Structure 1
Amino acid sequence: MKKTIIAILLTALVATLFFGCSSPSDDTDDSWGELEERGTIIVGFDDTFVPMGFKDGSGTIVGFDVDLAKEAIGRMGLEAEFQPIDWNLKETELNSKNIDLIWNGYTITDARKEKVNFTSPYLDNRQVIVVLSGSDIATKAGLEGRIVAAQNASSALAAITEEGAGATFDGGEPILFDTYNDAFMDLEAGRVDAVVADEILARYYIAERGEEKYTVLSEDFGDEEYGVGVRKTDETLLTKLNEALDAMKEDGAAATISEKWFGENIVK
């Protein structure tokens, strides 16, 4: 009897260890099957980031990245659903499965690569310094002792921090805003002396608000590339998305979208 009980217990223990080790956890699941079943991919974006993804005057979600995402996701047999998010929490939203992609002028950085996987780069960008016309700030060194603005959790902030330039600004750090719209409003009002921002966004703002009002300095805080952020577990989605983007570049669809928003093809 004792031998029988021991044998049963050992069998149960082995089975528990086997199934416990072999059963995949939620952390390692590739969600492609869920996305196919649902029929949609939820794209997380900052709805103030012109011209990449934003709400127009009628409240409609529009933008270069919006059009790019619709086309790419459509080629994957699914529909794009756009979800405005707090940009400070973008990686948390992604890895909590509240969204499936981060797609909105999302700069590829080493720090972000630790949290998400990126598609191949599809656009070049740089972090430019914008001042009001007539400002006596003409170089990056001229920012010393000045009030400099950037968006919270932005690649501009990361670039400033990496150079250690923030310590030279008034207050020892840049002033951070939730949106670049707020930052540019404060620049126009004279409450900040300069804004560091993505060139693509800055050029759009300048064109919309009047090029005569602003000066973009020749010096900047570095070049960078945009990619789409994907959960590290979603290898199938990453592969399919890269394939769709590559096909769009080859057949001219990406160029058509670029020309609509920028007047030329700037897609990599």
Structure 2
Amino acid sequence: MKRLTTMIVAIAAVFALLTGCGSNSAEKDNTLVIGVDDHFAPMGFRDKDNNLVGFDIDYAKAAAEKMGKEAKFQTIDWSTKESELSSGRIDLIWNGYTITDERKGKVLFTKPYLENAQVVVTLANSKIEKINDLAGKVIGLQSLSSASDALDKNPIKSKIKSVAEYKDNVLALSDLKTKRVDAVVIDEVVIDYYMSKEKGKFKLLKGSLAPEQYGVGVKKGNDELLKDLQKALDEMNEDGTAAEISEKWFGENKVLH
């Protein structure tokens, strides 16, 4: 009798373990883990209550809902974003992620959903007016970002004094305010947000370094996820969901069709 009882307990334990594994698998299948930089306003950032908010946050939540999934956001070091994706720790890179030829070799991209440009910002009272004035100056930018790529491709790169690299744009702008750097290369959509919040603090130099477009990054080989995601994004364009989110954050519909 004792042996029978032991066997029943063992079988129950195995059944419970299998049930638990099935539950975790089902939960994983129903969740999209999205890698974000939470210092990238207005795309994805922390509000005063430390809640993760922004255009891309709302956009991703709405797309996940269309797909019958739940969006789970994971803050990542932006300099390791492709490694996070290829390792499977995240399912998507979605936070002002610029489409470049180099990145196309590492990830799959959705169609572009937003226009952007890399621009140069300095303090409002600076004597720097145009990009050629950056000669001999110290320039700040986010490490391993498209801002770095844009500066590398511009002739002014060979004339500047040095480049200071930062983990995020907030730190770069902080050093600009204290004059540790003379200017910052940054996404236009990001600096537009900060200039609206701190009026009279910054000014943009004439012209941009490089126009670009944002897309969502999907792991190479995961074509089915890319297909499902793009279908959801297309539906959001058609039913007005994307326009509503854009108007909330930008005051107009900037989403590409």
Give yes or no for the alignment of 1:225 onto 2:213. yes
Match 2:32 to one of 33, 41, 49: 41
Give yes or no for the alignment of 1:66 onto 2:54. no
Q: Offset at 1:37?
A: 5.4
Give yes or no for the alignment of 1:148 onto 2:148. no
In 1, are the aligned partners of 2:140 and 2:164 still within 8 Å (CA)?
A: yes
Counterparts of 1:38 and 1:231 in 2: how far apart (Å)?
16
- Structure 1 letter corresponding to 2:245: I
Match 1:244 to one of 222, 228, 232: 232
- Matched position secondary structure for 2:106: coil
1:186-205 pair list within 5 angstroms: 186-205=175-194
- Structure 1 letter corresponding to 2:186: A
Q: Number of paired residues? A: 232
- Matched position secondary structure for 1:93: helix
User: Residue 7 of structure 2 aligns with which residue?
Assistant: none
- Matched position secondary structure for 1:218: coil
The answer for unaligned runs of 5 or more in structure 1 is 1-33
Match 1:260 to one of 231, 245, 248: 248
In 1, are the aligned partners of 2:132 and 2:156 still within 8 Å (CA)?
A: no
Q: Offset at 1:42?
A: 0.1
In 2, are the aligned partners of 1:147 and 1:169 still within 8 Å (CA)?
A: yes
Query: Deviation string for 1:31-61 (max 9, x for gaps)?
Result: xxx7885310100010111110111111111
Could you state the TM-score of these two structures normalised by the residue count of structure 1?
0.84
User: Residue 57 of structure 1 aligns with which residue?
Assistant: 48
In 2, are the aligned partners of 1:36 and 1:78 still within 8 Å (CA)?
A: no
User: Residue 131 of structure 1 aligns with which residue?
Assistant: 122
User: Residue 174 of structure 2 aligns with which residue?
Assistant: 185
| Shift in CA distance, 38/162, structure 1 to aligned 2, threshold 3 Å | same
- Matched position secondary structure for 1:201: helix
Counterparts of 1:217 and 1:265 in 2: how far apart (Å)?
25
- Matched position secondary structure for 1:212: coil
In 1, are the aligned partners of 2:113 and 2:215 still within 8 Å (CA)?
A: yes
Q: Offset at 1:236?
A: 0.5
- Structure 1 letter corresponding to 2:149: A
- Structure 2 letter corresponding to 1:129: V
Q: Offset at 1:162?
A: 2.1
- Matched position secondary structure for 1:190: coil
- Matched position secondary structure for 2:152: helix
- Structure 1 letter corresponding to 2:174: M
The answer for unaligned runs of 5 or more in structure 2 is 1-24
User: Residue 67 of structure 2 aligns with which residue?
Assistant: 76
In 1, are the aligned partners of 2:131 and 2:156 still within 8 Å (CA)?
A: no
Counterparts of 1:36 and 1:165 in 2: how far apart (Å)?
50
Could you state the TM-score of these two structures normalised by the residue count of structure 2?
0.88
Counterparts of 2:211 and 2:26 in 1: how far apart (Å)?
34
In 2, are the aligned partners of 1:35 and 1:41 still within 8 Å (CA)?
A: no
